[in-house]
Structure 1
Amino acid sequence: MQTPYPFVPDGKLAYIRQIDIDTLPDDIRSQIPGGVEVWGVHSDDGECIALTQDRPTAFFVAREHDLEPVSAH
């Protein structure tokens, strides 16, 4: 997932993408109400560091942790 963004210092980029609920562990999936979208905040090495229920919140969470969010598809 590493895309160069020269204006962002190393380790400060966050990729935001929608998560397929079926790929989540059972203990997490069991806490998600039916019909809810799940969005992930991922570090620049691809590790999922946060889950949110919508895209704007994912961007907010990234910025609150001094990360520069970008969309990933």
Structure 2
Amino acid sequence: MNTPFEINAEGDRIVYVKTVEVADLPREVREQAGDLSLLYAVHDADGQQLALVADRKLAFNLAREHDFSPVAVH
């Protein structure tokens, strides 16, 4: 079975949460970000972005609500 998600020893699907500079995003996204300078992206193991949210806690909660185990990327 081929999956874009890593699976840890406990069998949890892992996604990665990282900060993203709003200045590095496309104009449409920058406009929607308002006065925020950072957003939080949730990615699968292949690097595909699954979500982009304004709050770190929200990113982790969103991942858990969808049965993923979030891991912070530094």
Task: Return the TM-score normalized by structure 1.
Answer: 0.79
- Seq. identity, %: 33
Runs of 4+ in 1 over 6 A off after TM superposition: none
Q: Give, in whole Å, the separation in 2 of the partners of 1:14 and 1:3.
A: 7
What do you get for the CA RMSD once the two structures are aligned? 2.1
Aligned to 1:59: 60
More strand by share: 2
Give 5+ residue unaligned stretches, structure 2: none
Q: Give, in whole Å, the separation in 2 of the partners of 1:35 and 1:22.
A: 10
Q: How many residues are treated as equivalent by the alignment?
A: 70
Aligned to 1:7: 10
Task: Return the TM-score normalized by structure 2.
Answer: 0.78
